[in-house]
Chains A and B, each alone.
Chain A
Amino acid sequence: MSSAVASAPSPARETAQGGRSSLTRSRIRAAWIFIAPTLIVLALIAGWPLARTIWFSFTDASLNNLADYEFIGFENYVANYDGEWFGLLTDPDWWHSVWNTVWFTAVSVSIETVLGIIVALILNASFPGRGIMRAVILIPWAIPTVVSAKMWNWMLHDQFGVINDMLLRLGLIAAPITWTANPDTALWTVVMVDVWKTTPFMALLILAALQMLPGDIYEAAKVDGVHPVKVFFRVTLPLIKPALIVAVIFRALDALRVFDLIYVLTANSRDTASMSVYARQQLVDFQEVGLGSAASTLIFLIIALLIVITMAAGRVRLSGDPR
C-alpha cells in the first residue's frame, strides 16, 4: 500500500481530474475495511430485531404465542370490520400520543439547545473551579433515569414535595401546584425534568466542539475589537453548527422515543402518553405484538421523516468533506 501512496498524485488534484488513482482506490478499500466492523456489529445486533419488528407489524402475533401468527397485511394500520374502522391510523389515542411526543420534543430540545450553549460557553471560559463545575453539571445526566424520575416525582408531590415548599417560602406561588396531576401542567413538568436531565448531554457535546475550534480566530476578533456577542453569532456559531446539529439530532432521537420519564411521572395517563408509551402499552400490557410492532414501525417512519426535515432545514452535508 505504501508504494501506491508514494507514486500517487496529490489528493487535491485527484477529484478535479476525475480519475481514480491507485491512492484513491486504496483509500476507498481502507474505508470499507474501517467501516466493516461497525456495520457487522450493527447488522448482527440490530438487523434481526428491527426486521422482525417490521415483519410482525403485518401479522396478528400475540405475546402469548409468538410462534403462531398470520400475515394480515395492513390490518394493524387500518382496517374496516363490519363498517367500523379499526387499526392504528384510526385510533385517536395514537394521534394524541404523536402530538404529545412531537410537542414535547420540540419544546424540550429547543430549551436544551439554548441552555446547552450557555452552559458550554460558561465551561469554556476559564475560571477557578471549572473542573468541578464540569463534574457538577454532568450529575443530572449521571443519575439513572429509573431513580431520577422517581426522585422528581417525590420532589414534585403537591403536599410534601420540596419544590412546592421552596416556591412557597420564596413567595413565588400562593398555593401548592399540582405539577404532575393536572393534565395542563403535566407535560410542562415532564419538559422541565427532561431539561434538567439532558442539558448536560448537549452542553458537553457543544463544549467539545468549542474546544476543537482553532484559537487564532478569536485572537483576530479581539484585535479588531468586535463585540463578544457578535463574535459568537458571526464566528463561533457557524463553526460549531455541524456538531450542534448532530447533538440536536441525537437529542431529538431520544426525545421522540421518550418513555421512562413520562411513564414514571404520569403513568399510563392518556393525556400525557408519548408514542413509546403507546407502543409499550400495546406490546407489553396488551400483548398485541402485531399492533405494537405497527406502532413501532410508524414511530420509526415519523422519526425518520422529522430527522430528514431537520437535516434539510439545517443543511446538513451527509457527504461533506473535510474543510
Chain B
Amino acid sequence: MSRLIASFTLAAGLLASASVSAVEISISCSALGKEYEICKQGVDAWAQKTGNTVKIVSTPNSATERLALYQQLLAAGAGDIDVFQIDVVWTGILADHLVDLTAKGQGEIGGHLPAMAETSRVNGKLMAMPWFADAGLLYYRQDLLDKYKRPVPQTWADLTETARIIQEGERKDDKGDFWGYVWQGRAYEGLTTVALEWIASYNGGTIVDEKGEITVENPKAAEALKTAAGWVGTITPEGVLNYTEEEARGVFQAGNAAFMRNWPYAWALAQGADSTIKGKVGIAPLPKGGADGRHAGTLGGQLLAVSKYSKNAEAATDLVMYLTGEAEQKRRAVEGSFNPTIVSLYSDTDIAKANPFIGDLADVFSNAVARPATVTGQNYNKVSTEFFNAIHQVLSKRSQPEQALNRLDRDLKRIKRNGWQ
C-alpha cells in the first residue's frame, strides 16, 4: 500500500516537474512506528497536492538524542533537513537556526491554543507552528475509588489521603506491593514538568515569570515540595526517583497503583486489550494545591519549524502550514489520537467520536502551564537542569525544600548574570 502511494507520489512529482519546478523537502517528524505512518500519510498528501516530493528522516525516539542530533546538523549549517519537528521547549534553543514564519503564520496562529502559540514565539517572532499538544493528567482507578467510596481528588491533600486509604486497604487484601501514587521522578526534563505542576498548582509561579524574574524561592513552592517529598516512601515507592513515563505506567498498568501522573498517551495503552486495568481507569485534571490553588498540567507537545539552511524554505514553509493546518490536525486526531492545537477542533464531532475524552482535555490544555522556555531562551536547559536537580535533592531527602529553593535561586541568578538571552 505504502509503495503504491510512493509511486503515485513519484509519478505526481514527475508530472509536476514538467510544469513548475518541483523540489524535494526532507522532514524529521518521528521515530519509526505508528507515528511514522501517520506522518507519512500527511506529507504524501501534501506532496501529491503540490507536486513536490518529501523525504522523511527518522530521528531517535529519545528527546535528548534528537535535540543533540539537530544541534549538530544546525551548528554545521547543514541543509540536509528542511523541516524539523521540535519539542515545545526547544524553540528558544534553536531559534537562531530557524526561519521566521511570522509572515505566513500570523493569520493562523490566533486559532491555536494560546499556550501553544506562546511556545512558538521567540522575541515576538513566530519561529515555529504548533502541531500537537500534550499535558500532564491524573489517572485514577475508578473501581478502587468506588470500592473505598472516595471521590476523584480535587486537591493534593485529598489525593494524599485517598491514596493512603486505598494503599492500606489493598495491602491488607494481600497486595503487598500496592502503592498509592506513581509519577516521574528521575533527574531529567520530565521531573521539571512534574514539579512545575506541583508548584503552579499552589500558585507558586513557574520558576521564572514572563518578565524574566526568578520567582522560584517562595513559601508556596516550598509547601508544594514539602507535600511531594512526603509522598516518597509513604504512598509513592522510593524507586519513583528513577522513573520515567514508562516505568510509572508499568506500575499503574500492572494494577499496582491507585493514581498516576502521566501524559495522554497512557490512556490508549491502559485501555488496551491486554491491559489488566482495562475499563477501570479514569482521567482528570491534576489536583489543586489547596482550596485556592489551581489545576495545573504542564504543557508538552511538538512544533514544526523550518531550517534557515534549507534550500527550499518557501516550499518547506508551505509544508509546515499544511501539516499544522486544520484539516491535517483533524486527520491526525482521528487516526492517531494526536491532540490538536487548534481550539475549534475540540468541539469537532468526528474527533469526539474517535476520542471520547477529548472534551475533558480541552480544559486541561487551556489551563496548562508552560515551562519558562520562551523567556529563558537558550538558557532554558540550564534552568531546567538546575531545577530538576534541586527537586531531586528534596525528594531524596538530602535537602530541605527551603534550603534547596534558596540554593536554586542563587544558581539561577548566576545563570542569568548577563540576562537570559
Touching in the complex, A and B, CB below 8 A?
Answer: yes
| A residues with CB within 8 A of B | 62-66, 81, 84, 86, 157-160, 176, 178, 180-183, 186, 266-271, 281, 284-287
Contact of A267 with B186 in the complex, beta carbons under 8 Å: yes
The residues in B between 209 and 247 inclusive whose CB is less than 8 angstroms from any CB of A are 237-243, 247
For residue B268, CB closer than 8 A to chain A, the reply is no
Query: Is the interface on chain B under 10, 10 to 19, 20 to 34, or 35 or more residues?
Result: 35 or more
Query: Across the interface, which residues of A come within 8 angstroms of B388, CB to CB?
Result: 268
Q: Are A285 and B237 in contact (CB under 8 A)?
A: no
Q: List 21 A-B contacts (CB under 8 A).
A: A66-B76, A157-B239, A159-B177, A159-B251, A178-B237, A178-B239, A266-B187, A267-B187, A267-B188, A268-B188, A268-B385, A269-B186, A269-B392, A270-B187, A270-B392, A271-B392, A284-B71, A285-B382, A286-B382, A287-B71, A287-B378
Residues B414 and A84 in contact, CB atoms below 8 Å apart: yes
Distance in angstroms between the alpha carbons of A266 and B187 in the assembled complex? 7
Contact (A157, B250) CB under 8 Å given A182-B241, A269-B392, A286-B381: yes
In the complex, what distance in Å separates the CA atom of A187 from the CA atom of B396?
15
Contact assessment for B71 and A178 in the assembled complex, using a CB-CB cutoff below 8 Å:
no
Interface centre among A81, A86, A157 (most CB of B within 10 A): A157
Q: A270–B256 contact, CB under 8 A? A: no
Residues of chain B contacted by A182 (CB below 8 angstroms): 238, 241, 396
Please name all residues of chain A whose beta carbon is closer than 8 Å to the beta carbon of B97 when the two chains form the complex: 64
Task: Kindly provide the distance from the CB of A161 to the nearest chain B CB, expressed in whole angstroms.
Answer: 9
B242 near A180: Cβ-Cβ < 8 Å: yes
A286: chain B residues within 8 A (beta carbon): 379, 381-382, 385
- Asked if B87 is at the interface (CB within 8 A of a chain A CB), the reply is no
Q: A160 touching B254 by the CB < 8 A rule? A: yes
Q: Which 9 A-B pairs have the closest CB atoms?
A: A158-B239, A269-B187, A181-B242, A181-B241, A267-B188, A178-B239, A180-B242, A285-B381, A178-B238
User: What per-residue 1/0 map shows which CB atoms of B50-71 lie under 8 Å from chain A?
Assistant: 0000000000000010011001
Name which of A62, A159, A266, A281 has the most chain B CB atoms within 10 A of its CB.
A159
- Does chain A have a CB within 8 A of B389? yes
- List, in ascending order, chain A residues with CB within 8 A of B382's CB: 285-286
Closest residue of B by beta carbon distance from A67: B77
CA distance A266 to B241 in the complex (A): 9
Residues on B with C-beta less than 8 A from A268 are 187-188, 385, 388-389
The distance in angstroms between the C-alpha atoms of A287 and B376, with both chains bound, is 14
Beyond A159-B177, A181-B239, A268-B188, 9 extra complex contacts between A and B, CB < 8 Å:
A81-B417, A159-B250, A160-B250, A178-B242, A181-B241, A266-B186, A267-B187, A284-B64, A285-B385
B210 CB to nearest A CB, Å? 23
> From residue B341, how far is it (CB to closest CB) to chain A in Å?
26
Contact status of A270 and B389, CB under 8 A, knowing A65-B96, A183-B398: yes
Cβ contacts under 8 Å, A267 to chain B: 186-188, 242
**Partner pick for B389 among A81, A158, A269, A285, CB 8 A cutoff:** A269
Over the window 78-105 of chain B, the binary record of Cβ atoms lying under 8 Å from chain A Cβ atoms (1 yes, 0 no) is 0000000000000001001100000000
Q: Once the chains bind, are B238 and A181 in contact (CB under 8 Å)?
A: yes
B6 to chain A, nearest CB (A): 30
User: Does B5 make an interface contact (CB < 8 A)?
Assistant: no
- CA–CA, A33 to B377, complex, Å? 54
Q: What's the Cα separation between A231 and B333 when bound, in Å?
A: 73
Question: Whole-angstrom distance between the alpha carbons of A31 and B340 in the complex?
Answer: 68
Q: In the complex the two chains form, is A178's CB within 8 Å of B241's CB?
A: yes
Given the known inter-chain contacts A159-B251, A160-B254, please indicate yes or no for A64 contacting B239, CB distance below 8 A.
Answer: no
Flag if B251 contacts A183 (CB, 8 Å): no
- CB closest residue in chain B, given A177: B239
Please name all residues of chain A whose beta carbon is closer than 8 Å to the beta carbon of B32 when the two chains form the complex: none
B75 near A: Cβ within 8 Å?
yes
Residues on B with C-beta less than 8 A from A266 are: 186-187, 242
Instruction: Report the bound CA distance from A31 to B121 in whole Å.
Output: 62
Identity of the chain A residue whose Cβ is nearest the Cβ of B396 in the assembled complex = A183
Q: Which of A65, A84, A159 contacts B239 (CB 8 A)?
A: A159
Which residues of chain A are within 8 angstroms of B378 by Cβ–Cβ distance?
62, 64, 287
Residues of A within 8 A of B64 (CB): 284-285
Q: Using Cβ atoms and an 8 Å threshold, which residues of chain A touch B187?
A: 266-270
By a CB distance below 8 angstroms, the chain B residues around A64 are 75, 96-97, 378
| Cα distance A91–B236 in the bound complex, in angstroms | 33
What residues of chain B lie closer than 8 Å to A284, measured between beta carbons? 64, 67-68, 71
Closest A-chain residue to B417, C-beta based?
A: A81
Return the chain A residue nearest B240 by Cβ: A181
Contact A159 B396 (CB under 8 A): no
- For A157, list chain B residues within 8 Å (CB): 239, 247, 250
Nearest residue (CB) in A for B177 is: A159
State the CA gap A59–B208 with chains docked (Å). 29
A160 to B186, CA, bound (A): 17
Shortest beta-carbon distance from A10 to chain B in Å: 57
Q: What's the Cα separation between A182 and B240 when bound, in Å?
A: 10
Give chain A residues whose Cβ lies under 8 Å from the Cβ of B239: 157-159, 176, 178, 181
Decide: A281 and B385 in contact? CB cutoff 8 A.
yes
Asked whether A66 lies within 8 Å of B75 as measured between CB atoms, the reply is: yes
CA distance A304 to B180 in the complex (A): 50
Distance between A267 CB and nearest chain B CB, rounded to angstroms: 4
Bound: A16/B412 CA distance, A? 68
Q: How far is the CA of A284 from the CA of B381 in the complex (A)?
A: 10
**Smallest CB–CB gap between A320 and chain B, Å?**
42
Q: Within the assembled complex, what's the spacing in Å between the Cα atoms of A7 and B186?
A: 73
Minimum CB–CB distance for B268 against chain A, Å: 21
Q: Complex formed: what's the CA distance from A66 to B388 in Å?
A: 29
Q: Which residue of B has the minimal Cβ distance to A160?
A: B250
Bound Cα distance A286, B386 (Å): 11
Cα A63 to Cα B90 in complex, Å, equals 14
Min Cβ gap A123→B in Å is 36
A286 to B188, CA, bound (A): 14
User: What are the residues of chain A within 8 A of B241 when measuring CB–CB?
Assistant: 178, 181-182
User: A281–B75 Cα gap in the complex (Å)?
Assistant: 16
Query: Which A residue sits closest to B242, measured CB to CB?
Result: A181
Which residue on chain B has the smallest CB distance to residue A182? Answer: B238
Indicate if the CB atoms of B389 and A287 lie closer than 8 Å: no
Quick one: closest B residue to A86, CB to CB? B414
A53 to B340, CA, bound (A): 43
* Bound CA–CA A268/B392 (angstroms): 11
Report which residue of A65, A160, A269 has the largest number of chain B beta carbons within 10 angstroms of its beta carbon: A269
B237 touches A159 (CB 8 A): yes
Interface residues of B in 321-375 (CB under 8 A from A): none
B251 adjacent to A160 (CB under 8 Å) = yes
Please report the C-alpha to C-alpha distance between residue A5 and residue B74 in the assembled complex, in whole angstroms: 58
Which residues of A are found within 8 Å of B243, using beta-carbon distances?
181
Chain B's nearest CB lies how many Å from the CB of A86? Answer: 8
Q: What is the CA–CA distance of A268 and B247 in the complex, to the nearest angstrom?
A: 17
Encode B239-281 as 1/0 by CB contact (under 8 A) with A: 1111100010011001010000000000000000000000000
